[in-house]
Amino acid sequence: MGLFGRQGKPWSDQVTLTRGERVLVARQAPAGWVVATTHALWLPDRAGLTRVGWESVDTASWDRDSSVLAVREVGSTDGRPRRWTLRMDDDRDLLLLVKEQVRATVVTSRHADVAGGGVTVVARRPPGSDGLTWAVSADPGVDVGDVDVRRVIESRLAEMKAELGV
């Protein structure tokens, strides 16, 4: 595929950088390009590349046996996070870069046990921003729509905001 992904476009035609943002690495996978910048991870989908801000990446992992990079986005308002599983050449260095960039966005986090498992509330600062974003990561099987679970989440969120003065 050379410089072009599955959609027939070079990655540079699919990535729009913001002021002060720069490309750290671009790797080609059979599904298309994976581009990591100082502000986001660009992942292939049917339309081309989708931007996922570092503050929106929940987890990333590398399966050595299948040569698959798995990325899960923080849950959206419907509670269902987007997931990418990308077969690519052995690229654990990319995984280390992703984890480093994600970790750099975390300001604070709090875990709480709830019925069926646990939830973690995380305050993150997007690169190039002074603001905070708030995310909830739930264990598999935990219903974040449950009234008691929501109550625990809201309590943790209030505690964290008070500690940070926001």
Q: Dump pLDDT digits (tens) for 105-124.
A: 999 999 999 988 999 999 99
pLDDT value at position 11? 86
Mean pLDDT within 123-146: 90
> What are phi and psi for residue 103, nearest 5 degrees?
-60, -35
List, in sequence order, every residue forming a beta bridge with 136; answer none if it has no partner. Answer: 121
Dihedral of the CA atoms 32, 96, 108, 130 (nearest 10)?
-60
Complete domains list, the chain, with CATH: 11-104 (2.30.29.30), 105-164 (no CATH)
CA 9/CA 4 separation, integer angstroms: 5
Mean pLDDT within 17-44: 93
More confident residue, 79 or 73: 73
Handedness of CA 60, 25, 19, 104 (dihedral sign): positive
Structure tokens at 37: 């910048």
pLDDT surpassing 90 at residue 40: yes
More confident residue, 19 or 7: 19
Q: Identity (one letter) of the amino acid at 100? A: E
Structure tokens at 162: 């008070």
Cα angle, residue 28 at apex, residues 74 and 105 outer, rounded to 5°: 30
Which residues are CB-contacts of 21 (< 8 A; sequence separation ≥ 6)?
37, 38, 39, 40, 127, 128
Reference 50, options 70, 74, 32, 23; nearest CA is: 32
pLDDT value at position 1? 39
pLDDT value at position 139? 87
Reference 124, options 49, 74, 51; nearest CA is: 74
pLDDT > 90 in the chain, percent: 57
pLDDT value at position 151? 95
